[in-house]
Amino acid sequence: MIREERIFIPSDNLIIEALFHRSSGKKAAILCHPHPLMGGSMHNNVVEASIRAWAAENIATARFNFRGVGASSGAYDEGRGEARDVISVYRFLQQQGYSNIYFAGYSFGAWVGSKIIQADNKIFDYAVFISPPDNYFVFDYGRLINKVDLIICGNADAFCDAAKIYQKSKSIGAKLEIIDGADHFYWGKEAEIEKIMRLSVGK
């Protein structure tokens, strides 16, 4: 059982609800959930699998609800305000003394993360995109070269075409892991995500 504390982090003039797991090291990770208007929240099976994986590697974790989700105030902002929410969580982790900050974004969360990484390629020490929905959102891959470390996608994902992602991952220098039989929601595939995530940083 991972011990997480419920906290609230200011973002703009809003309050963001988060669950924070502390570690004894200097590494911490931000984990971002799927689309707020499609039922996405920090209590997502993929987000929880990612938390278990990285917490097992002594990495602190911060999952949170984007503005307008759960107990987070505000409303959906088409990725703009959501990117600022990520930055607010990033600053919180810095204030807690963590100097190496990782990022994992699932679906919409990956798209939001891509905007931040495009603007500042040095912000995250390690970045993972899980099912980046480039059949739904536009990703500027030309500005992500050597900035994303790992992409995970299922070979039955309608929002993240595995063949297309294979080419994109090669073009930006990211490692690609394809999960056989997984669609966009990864039900029953959580253990495989956890294994991949652990191995990705278990050095």
Query: Tens of pLDDT along 39-96?
Result: 999 999 999 999 999 999 999 999 999 999 999 999 999 999 999 999 999 999 999 9
- According to DSSP, the β-strands at 60-64 and 27-32 are parallel
Average pLDDT over residues 153-172: 96
The per-residue pLDDT for range 10-20, each reduced to its tens digit, is 999 999 999 99
3-state secondary structure of 50: helix
* Structure confidence at residue 203 as a pLDDT band (50, 70, 90): low
The single-letter code of the amino acid at 9 is: I
* Beta-carbon contacts of residue 188 (< 8 Å; ≥ 6 apart): none
| DSSP character string of 127-183 | EEEES--TTTS---GGG-TTT--EEEEETT-SSS-HHHHHHHHHHHT-EEEEETT--
C-beta of residue 54 within 8 angstroms of C-beta of residue 61: yes
Q: Kindly report the average pLDDT of the chain as a whole number.
A: 96
The per-residue pLDDT for range 127-153, each reduced to its tens digit, is 999 999 999 999 999 999 999 999 999
The answer to whether domain 5-201 has CATH 3.40.50.150 is: no
